[in-house]
Amino acid sequence: MTAVPETLPENRYGRSADQRADRKLKIIGSVLGVVLLGVVGWIGYDYVTGQGISAEVIKRQVVSDQRVDIHLEVRKDKDAKGYCTLRAQHEDGSDVARKDFRFDERTDRIDRVLSLRTTARATSVELLGCTTDGGASR
């Protein structure tokens, strides 16, 4: 007595539909993986090169109930122009001042002491961000 094989002989009837579907899924997955890597790389490159301005508050001094002085340091490209937004807050968290400070100097570093007029005594000062006229923000 001879045993009858349970499966069809290989390559006798061509590829099965499952094998063709598996191949298509592998190709589609590879293409999507390459596209995803490209997008992540582009976002990372744009983030690193798009940082046209870097700024920080060095120190602050509350002068009175209506004024706070802020020492702001801005590092940027020589030709970059833009502004930084600062805000001062009262101890209860409410805003007592908010102002944009413009810079147009053709230097790569700006150290400036700025005065903010407040509506009440400020207990904290925060740099909200800086933006170049070209649109790069921090």
Q: What angle do CA 36, 40, 43 make, to 5 degrees?
A: 140
Are the C-beta atoms of 130 and 74 separated by less than 8 Å?
yes
Residue 48 to residue 82: CA distance in whole angstroms: 19
Residue 137 DSSP symbol = B
What is the model's pLDDT at position 11? 62
Tens digits of residue pLDDT in 37-63: 999 999 888 777 766 788 899 999 999
What is the model's pLDDT at position 79? 82
What is the model's pLDDT at position 8? 62
pTM: 0.59
Concatenated DSSP letters of 16-68: -HHHHHHHHHHHHHHHHHHHHHHHHHHHHHHHHHT--EEEEEEEEEEEETTEE
Q: Which residues of the chain have pLDDT under 50?
A: none
Give every strand in the sheet of 95-103, ordered side by side: 95-103, 82-89, 124-132
Element (H, E) at 75: strand 67-76
Q: List beta partners, residue 125.
A: 88
